[in-house]
Each structure stands twice: as C-alpha cells, then as structure tokens.
Amino acid sequence: MTFPVVGMVGGGQLARMTHEAGIPLGIKFKLLSDTPQDSAAQVVSDVVIGDHRDLDTLRAFARGCDVITFDHEHVPTEHLRALEADGIPVRPGPDALVHAQDKGVMRAKLTEIGAPCPRHRIVTDPADVTAFADEGDGYPVILKTVRGGYDGKGVWFVRSEADAHDPFRAGVPVLAEEKVDFVRELAANIVRSPHGQAVAYPVVESQQVDGVCDTVIAPAPGLAADLSGEAQQLAIRIAVELDVIGHLAVELFETRDGRILVNELAMRPHNSGHWTQDGAITSQFANHLRAVLDLPLGDPRPRSTWTVMCNVLGGDYPDMYKPYLHVMARDPQAGIHMYGKDVKPGRKVGHVNTYGDDLDEVLDRARHAAGYLRGTITE
C-alpha cells in the first residue's frame, strides 16, 4: 500500500487545519468545498467545488479517495450509506454520525447505554413543553431542534409556555432538556481507530459566551482525578458503543453536586481540541487523520503544564492585519491560528493558543491576544 488519499467533506477551518496536519504525514488530501473562497479551499491543492447535499457530487468526489471524513455533520445520512454501499470507507460511518446529526437519536442511544444525560424527551407542542417542565422542577427548560443547530443556533432557553412557540415553527422535531445546574462545562476528547485503538486527551474546561466557545483551558483546573477519569472513560465508552472512528468530542456539564452529564457530541476535530496544536504531543487534527486511515495513533499527552485557547471572533473592523502585527510583537510565544475568513461580527475567524506554567499568566496572554484581534482591547 502506498500513501493514501483522504477525502474531507466541508471547506471550513477544521478542514484547513486537518490539511495542515496532513502535510507532514505525507498523505494526499482532497477537499469537497462549497466555494473556492472557503477557509480550507484557500490552502488545499486538490479541491472539488460542489454541494455536499448532492449524491452525484459526493460519489464523483469519493472516487479516488481511500477514505472519506468530515469537517461538519451536514451530509445527509442516506448519502453516507450510499457511499458505503459503493465500497468507500466513511469514517465516522453513518450509523455513528447520525448521533452527532440528530440530538433525538443521540439522547435515545446515550440513555440506552446508561450514559448520564440531562432529563430530556421529544416534545410535540408548547403545552407538551409545560408537561415536560412539570415532570421535573418546572421552567426554565432548554429546547433544541434535533437537527441543524450549532454554536447556540437551534437552541432556546425557555422560561414559560409563552416562550415555547418558536422552536416548533421549523417543522423539525424538538427535544426538551432540563436546565442543568452546572458549575462549568467540560469536554472529553478522544480519538478511536478502526482497529480499536483509542487515545484520550486531558479533559478540558470550556467557557462559552453567548452560546459560542470563548476559552478552553487544558487540563480543566482543579478537576477531581476521579471525575476526569470518569469523563475520559465515558467518552471512550460512547465511541465504542456508537462505533465512532476519528475524533470524538463529548461536551459535558459538571454539576454543582459533582456529577458529569453529556451535553453534546461532535464526531470530528472540535473547537475544544484546538489547544492540542500547540499544547499536545500530537494534535487532534493529526490524530483524526491517523484514526480514519487506521494508522497507529499519536501520543495525546500535554507538552506544557497549562495550555489556553481563546477564539478570535470578528469585531467591528474588517481588517485584522494591524492588530495581528501588534499581537505578534507583544507576545512572541503566542500560537496564532487564522482561518483566512472575511471578518464579520461574531464570526470565528481564528484562535490563539498560549502555554506555560502559570495559569493566570497563560490565560491573560490568550485573552489579551484574542481581545486585541477582535478589537475589544485596544491597549
């Protein structure tokens, strides 16, 4: 066997950074992207421009690929099955990926395997939401469309039945979940290969602002060793039970009474793993590629005591080049990762990784760099 071809569907920053990680691996990387301006399409040599929702496009793209993997969860499940029927390895496969595509399927499966979840059920209308609330401690309740949401989209924080109408307008099934009394959010990131090898990254703390990931601290400060081990084992068990291949991010709530509950699953490199580019021996992107190719996995251990990742969101100024210069001058150790995207307010356009022995200092540096790039800090 010679060096294989990996086909990645989706031209976002995850594909961009996966290509970056694939260059030293010597593999051939092929991209299916919506437009030539997409983040990954700017940097990949072998790009097909096309619609990932069109089966003929997917089939033509998959020809000549040794394996297909994904930058996002938006390829229709039935198309993935068709590719598998054509004999193309799809990793993660449709039977796994459906759990990251459909929150209803995910909750049902996790409950079946005994993974700890918030109280939940599919609800049919606003009156049913009130019934769900009354089955527990009452309102507030979280409503989610089972498909199509990300970064806080497709999620509603509902305080009363009068608030509960919007989620039903799209005609997509709606999942109700209790509002968990959590102290913080964690993420357990693992990578699993077809031959059954799995590696677990340190469990991280993930801080959200307005439903969007803002800061990730690796490892999660002060996390009890038993809870950390429990989270890693839970993530590996989910990967095994759902037959996930590649990177799996299990987003978790740490509750006030010391338990962990599964919030979301993502079966691809994930924002909560970006710190691994500068902070771990092997990055999530390299290990995702190694996993989908069934190569032996790389060491997931951290290289520094603390690593912090802060997302760079678009601010009011469309040109980031001057603040980028400033950040480089101010912190020559910062790992700046830009996605080549046009700046729009609130859009993720990059991230900064910092690392070191003093958490406060490492946090300050990452936050300053990200804030300066966004334009919320000007000194």
Classify residue 378 by burial, with Cβ atoms within 10 Å: 0-12, 13-18, 19+.
exposed
> What single DSSP character describes residue 65?
-
**Residue 185 marked ligand-binding:** yes
Q: Phi/psi at 140 (nearest 5 deg)? A: -75, 160
Size of the site for a copy of itself (CB under 8 A): 47
CB 200 within 8 A of CB 235: yes
> In terms of CB distance, is 338 or 359 closer to a copy of itself?
338
Of 373, 252, 362, the closest CA to residue 308 belongs to 362
178 is in an annotated binding site: yes
CB-count exposure of residue 250 (10 Å: 0-12, 13-18, 19+): buried
> 244: exposed, middle or buried (C-beta count within 10 Å: 0-12, 13-18, 19+)?
buried
Is 2 a binder of a copy of itself (CB under 8 A)?
yes
Rounded Cα gap, residues 58 and 61, in angstroms: 5
CA 247 to chain centre: 9
Residue 28 marked as a ligand binder:
no
- Rounded to an integer, what distance in angstroms lies between the CA atom of residue 191 and that of residue 255? 25
Smallest distance from the beta carbon of 219 to a copy of itself, in angstroms?
A: 18
Is the Cβ of residue 170 or residue 325 nearer to a copy of itself in the bound state? 325
Q: Does position 196 bind a copy of itself by CB under 8 A?
A: no
Is residue 299 involved in binding a copy of itself (CB under 8 A)? Answer: yes
Q: Any binding-site annotation on 341?
A: no
| Least CB distance to a copy of itself at residue 95 (A) | 27
Q: Does 16 bind a copy of itself (CB under 8 A)?
A: yes
Return d(Cα 210, Cα 77) in angstroms, integer: 30
Which of 48, 131, 338, 359 is close enough to bind a copy of itself by CB under 8 A? 338
Nearest one of 307, 366, 291, 286 to 19, comparing CA atoms: 286
C-alpha dist (Å) from residue 181 to 1, 38, 247, 259, 318: 52, 38, 28, 11, 38
144 marked as part of a ligand binding site? yes
Which range in 62-70, 88-96, 122-130, 317-325 contacts a copy of itself by CB under 8 A?
317-325
Question: Is residue 323 near a copy of itself by the rule CB under 8 A?
Answer: no
209 touching a copy of itself, by CB under 8 A: no
d(CA 263, CA 242): 16
The distance of closest approach from Cβ of residue 274 to a copy of itself in the complex, given in angstroms and rounded to an integer, is: 11
Candidates 9, 41, 62, 220; binder of a copy of itself (CB under 8 A) is: 41
Q: Rule CB under 8 A: is residue 277 a binding residue for a copy of itself?
A: yes
- Cα-Cα end-to-end distance for the chain: 55
Strand extents, DSSP E, 233-334: 246-255, 260-266, 306-313
Pick the stretch among 146-154, 161-169, 232-240, 298-306 that binds a copy of itself (CB under 8 A).
298-306
Contact by Cβ (8 Å): 40, 71: yes
Measured from the CB atom, the residue of 122 and 336 that comes closer to a copy of itself is 336
Q: Residues 5, 34, 43, 160: which binds a copy of itself (CB under 8 A)? A: 43
Show the CA angle centred on residue 50, arms to residues 47 and 56, nearest 5°: 115
**Segment near a copy of itself (CB under 8 A), from 14-22, 67-75, 98-106, 360-368?**
14-22
Mapped onto helix, strand or coil, the DSSP state of residue 302 is: strand
Stretch that binds a copy of itself, among 62-70, 119-127, 225-233, 334-342 (CB under 8 A): 334-342
Instruction: State which of positions 18-37 bind a copy of itself (CB under 8 A).
Output: 19-20, 23-26, 28-29
51-59, 84-92, 127-135, 293-301 -> range binding a copy of itself (CB under 8 A): 293-301
Letters for 47-66 (x = contact with a copy of itself by CB under 8 A, - = none) are x-------------------
The yes or no reply on residue 337 touching a copy of itself (CB under 8 A) is yes
379 is in an annotated binding site: no
- Interface residues with a copy of itself (CB under 8 A) are 1-4, 16-17, 19-20, 23-26, 28-29, 41-45, 47, 277, 281-282, 290, 295-299, 303, 319-322, 324-325, 328-329, 332-333, 335-340, 350
